Chains A and B, each alone.
Chain A
Amino acid sequence: MNQSFARRGIKVIGVTLLIYALLVAPHEGEFWPFSIYPMFSQAGNPWTRAMVLDVTDKPEMDIWEEHLLQNRTADVVPVGTYGVDQIDFSNFVTKTEHWTEQRQRALIHMFGSEAIAGRRWMVTKVRGELIGRDSVAIEIKPFILITSDSTFTNPNLPASEYGRIE
């Protein structure tokens, strides 16, 4: 091996870098495996995740109420137990803009209707934000109730929360 190999090697890396830049620039910084690695780059912003609560035994009048995490009374359904990736699940719930019939039914499909049989599971959105100088508030918003064969949206929320429902 010699100097020309090293020179050629760095040139090939340079061309790869150029292709890297050309691919990530128009694709919001991501074209796997190329990335600008933006994870955690925007700090301090409120976040929203998703969680499933088992409300089978809860009275109908209580299940749609927003509440703080520390006031939660329903058990959490551990989605990992059903083979669902919780990050995927969160993104599916928080990034969907239009909750079409198909999207709502996809929630049942994720877990499998036999897993939900006889139960009532509340898909919730969980929002965290900094309050004042020294605390983080985490609030649970009931969003879609799922059973083995049906879905129900939260009657307390404006229709705009669900986008277009067709």
Chain B
Amino acid sequence: MKWTEKISYQLFEPDRDQSPGEVIFFKLFELFVIYYTIRFAWEWGIYTELRNTEVVLALGVANYFDISIFFENYLAIINAAFITILSVACYFRLGYKWQYMVVMVLLHVQYVARFSQGEIPHSQNLIGMSVLCFAIGAIWFPDKKQMPRFVMGSIIFFIGLGYTSAFFAKLIGTGINWYDGRHLWLWIGEKSIDILSREGVYNPNFLQSMALQSTAVASVILLIGWFTEFIGFTMWWKKIRPYTTALLIGMHFGITMTMNIRFDAFVIQLILVGFPWYILIDRYVKTTPRMLQKWL
């Protein structure tokens, strides 16, 4: 068996039968993705309508047309409404199988309109990748048994890849001394200004104080985080997945503590995809609800 086939077996588990727990979990997970898709669409749309006046940074498709047309005439709001209607229809499998791809494109436009102000946040990427995996699954794996397995497997693949690629981006961008604790001092200083600017006050927490007092402590914090990113790809193996996921969640908690950056949707999604919740559900549910079967 080639290594790609081995990985595909770990991601898609083709020999495992579909259980009621898997169906229930999949539809709950899809609901989570739809909820955040709609929430982001409206948050980004309202912010774009109220606040954006000038394009500072053209992202994605905004490189090819003037995205500022979405700053007025309620276009961002109308886009959010379209995303909402289509997303709900997708969830209930109403309409066409390419609808999820339309949601993906509209959400991309909404993102590049909202974040045309110079910042490139990554905390929403995982929801975007999930919508894309649903879109690909709906088009190429519409079978009721294959789609859930493909969607979950591909999301896990891209999460693992993302973390490991972040490790290499740091190695290439800075070099092996990336974990020098003084770098963390600079970032803590930078985030402290962001918080001061946002709230008018800033006080370092316990972990930040410890890191600022000792280069060694700061270096260890960075080194642990960096190593955790590197092993992100081990999520591809189903037996290792829960342990890697637990480490990644711990890393995000550490980033929140040291740099005041929160990843709510990101961490919730890690909790959902990183552990085999269907086994727990199967303990209590023995048959698949007919309605859910219809919406698969």
Contacts and interface: CB of A to CB of B under 8 A. Distances in A.
Interface of A: 1-3, 5-10, 12-14, 16-17, 27, 29-33, 35-47, 49-52, 69, 75-81, 83-92, 94-96, 102-103, 106, 109-110, 126, 128-130, 133-134, 136, 138
Nearest to B187: A40
A126 to B, nearest CB: 5
A138 B51 contact: no
In the complex, which of the residues B14, B47, B112, B140 has the most CB atoms of chain A within 10 Å of its own CB atom?
B14
Interface of B: 4-5, 7-9, 11-12, 14-15, 18, 47, 50-51, 53-54, 56-57, 59-60, 63, 108, 111-112, 115, 117-122, 124-129, 131-132, 136, 140-141, 145-146, 149-150, 153-154, 157, 161-163, 165-166, 169-170, 172-174, 178, 180, 182-183, 185-187, 189-190, 193-194, 196-201, 215
Contact of A92 (B4, B118, B157, B193): B118
Contacts of B126: 33
7 contacts: A1-B146, A9-B150, A33-B125, A87-B121, A90-B118, A92-B54, A110-B53
Contacts of A136: 182, 185-186, 189
A133 B180 CA distance: 11
A8 B50 CA distance: 45
Given A9-B154, A49-B194, A126-B193, A37 B5 contact: no
Contacts of A51: 193, 196-197
Contact of A32 (B8, B111, B150): B111
A90 to B, nearest CB: 7
A1 B145 contact: yes
Contacts of A96: 56
B190 A6 contact: no
